[in-house]
Amino acid sequence: MTTYERTANWLTILLLTLLTVLSIVGAVWLPSPIAIHYNLQGQPDRWGSPATLLILPVIAVFTTSLLWVSQKIHPDFMNFPGPRTSENVARQLGNIRLMTASLRLFVVSLFLLIQGQSIWAKFYNHDQLSGWTIPCMISFVFVLVGFFVWRAYKLVPK
């Protein structure tokens, strides 16, 4: 395991803990109703109880666990560029480990950002989220995955 993977794993655990604590505090202290879903413009389009804030940490743990388990798939069931030599398989598996560590960190960061903005919006009686959040995060996930796909092609032995 590389230093980057270890750091990303610890940051993911730290952010999951922060997300859980923030969600519990929001569920206990915020008055009802709260916005539980937003459209692409950042305006609330569904309302619910503050207890619904507790769903996002569960989804975050499930998603990060799924990403962690997905990197344990046997290489014979994976599709990556280059020949199936032991050297290329090892390089590609390393790339996949780094990508899943990055995606886990990104997913938890995204959920924490959305949850934090939802709580902030209710606490300060704002009608919508910041407009930049969703487009920036969607763009970032494409850049992140695109980088690792590009890297996979660059790692193919010549």
Q: Are 102 and 144 in contact (CB under 8 A)?
A: yes
Q: What's the pLDDT at 126? A: 75
pLDDT digits over 83-127, tens only? 999 999 999 999 999 999 999 999 999 999 888 888 888 888 777
Q: What's the pLDDT at 52? A: 92
Which residue has better confidence, 128 or 35? 35
- Tokens for 22, please give them: 């923030």
- Enclosing domain of residue 124: 3-154
64 band by pLDDT with thresholds 50, 70 and 90: very high
Q: Is the pLDDT of residue 18 over 80?
A: yes
Q: Is the pLDDT of residue 47 over 80?
A: yes
Q: What is the pTM of this model?
A: 0.86
**Residue type at 76 in one-letter notation:** D
- DSSP letter for each residue of 40-95: TTS-EEEEE-GGGGGHHHHHHHHHHHHHHHHTTS-GGG---SS---HHHHHHHHHH
Q: Is the pLDDT of residue 80 over 80?
A: yes
Q: What's the pLDDT at 45? A: 87
Q: How many domains does the chain have?
A: 1
Distance CA 67, CA 61 (A): 10
Q: What's the pLDDT at 118? A: 84
Distance CA 20, CA 18 (A): 5
